[in-house]
A and B are shown apart, each in its own frame.
Chain A
Amino acid sequence: MAVKTEAIGKEWPPASFEVEAARIDQYASAVGEDNPIYHDTEAAKAAGFRDLVAPPMFCVVYSAPALGPAILDPEVGINIPVMVHGGQEFQWGEPVCAGDLITTTATCKEIYEQDGRGFYVFESVSTNQEGEETVRGIWTDIVRGV
């Protein structure tokens, strides 16, 4: 069985995420980010941010609503139970703060087979309510035994 490549170039509808202070605080606590700028709005403002600011990797939280439908799309055909996350790249732009509305669009960049494994590469581009790019991600998922 070979990988299906019809989905290369497919773009999914944009998905939006409203950034709430509580989600930043919860995420920062889970990953051990104890810098007060991620937990205390006043501390973030004192450091020059508009509001409570998110650690860079919070991008996985607000990108997820756009990536989910892409990874689960039958046209892509990923065998989810045996999928592993093989690689990840993020390039950051504007910082994300509580109150932001982030819109993310996911695209399928590549699907290929190598050594009996399927490689599925997606790109995500996220922008805030001002149209400024906050992050660009390259997500590589690997499926064994395609």
Chain B
Amino acid sequence: MWLWAALAVAVAVLAVLGAGLRRDPRRLPSPLVGRPTPAFSLPLLNGGVLRSEALRGRVVVVNFWASWCYPACYDEAPHLQRLWDRYGERGVVVVGINIQDTEAGARAFVRRFGQTFPVGRDRTGSIAIDFGVVGVPETYLIDRQGRIVFKHAGAVTEDLLAARIEALLAQGR
């Protein structure tokens, strides 16, 4: 009798702990998901300024990063470049926004990973504030209507974004 009771309690506790594995206590859904992207103008590292209006009608990946953000930003950097290589021709834009960093650090990072997509520095941190960035790296996916459809905190992978990008590209047609 006591054994069955103990077994029932043990199994219930294990099940609850197991269910807990599928949740992320830090996941706080961004209130911006479903909302229009905050307007920004980003001075690019290799000259020129990227304005958010110029991105209208395109699927955009906005990635906030810093060269000291170790190892997550280093992990995801090649994935972002691969996404740009893979989807750039189909009108997808990857934008890197460097925050809380030095100019030299940002340039060295871009050189190391051979990044060719537009990267700029948010010197005042105002873009990050408008997006509600909590930490680096954070990545936002924007649809053709300029709405934020997805937010990810932590390193992204090519696979994670590719499926969503495909869906957005298919939708737009």
Partners in one complex: no
